Amino acid sequence: MTDDKKRDRLTKVIRSAGIENERLYRAVAEIDRADFLPAGLPAGVMYHDAPIQIGEGQTTSQPSLVAQMIDALELSTEDSALEIGTGYGYQTALLASICARVVSIEQSPELAQHARTNLAVQGFENVEVITGDGTHGAPAEAPFDGIVVSAAAPEVPSPLAEQLAEQGRMVIPLGPGGREEVLVYGKRSGRLEMLERMTLAAFVPLLRR
């Protein structure tokens, strides 16, 4: 099977995951996951719907789960998003394709630089990648209409709850690291309200610096 066919098959797998946002589905079809992974990986790995180790003790999630988490944010083209856990920038690119502005925080300086380079090469200009502790969020850039956390936390970090805009949505895996429940929250009258239990999944722990 050619690389293009493997990529098309992955796109169909993501589509079958129940993505409702057509802009997101178009982004999935247009953005090549291989552009946001370490060099030298075989196509059978890059285009498989599975997590991939990306170095620095970090993992990029399977594309279908990435798309489901973004879809649950229900972002519009005018919205802003905060991403915790940039990795190589694949999820960041998808977010930047469907909303106005993305601020992404990565605790690893090496991974953050890889992401900046990848995003710049692909022409994404509405993204800011910050190196730092994701549990603190980005208060100077808040509020955010959507927040997606790509690492496991025992509870929702209070700064992230504070930085979510009223009527905004947050997707976060809660648990000890390794077996978590991905939950969707909404902010109503200044408080977080759980809206949906998405799925069980395995994430690396959300690290503090």
Q: Which residues are catalytic?
A: 61
Cis peptide bond prior to 51, omega within 30° of 0? no
Per-residue pLDDT tens, the chain, 209 aa: give them.
567 788 888 888 888 888 889 999 999 999 999 999 998 888 788 989 999 999 888 889 999 999 999 999 999 999 999 999 999 999 999 999 999 999 999 999 999 999 999 999 999 999 999 999 999 999 999 999 999 999 999 999 999 999 999 999 999 999 876 689 999 999 999 999 999 999 998 888 887 65
Concatenated DSSP letters for 126-178? SEEEEES-GGG--GGG--EEEEEE-SBBSS--HHHHHHEEEEEEEEEEESSSS
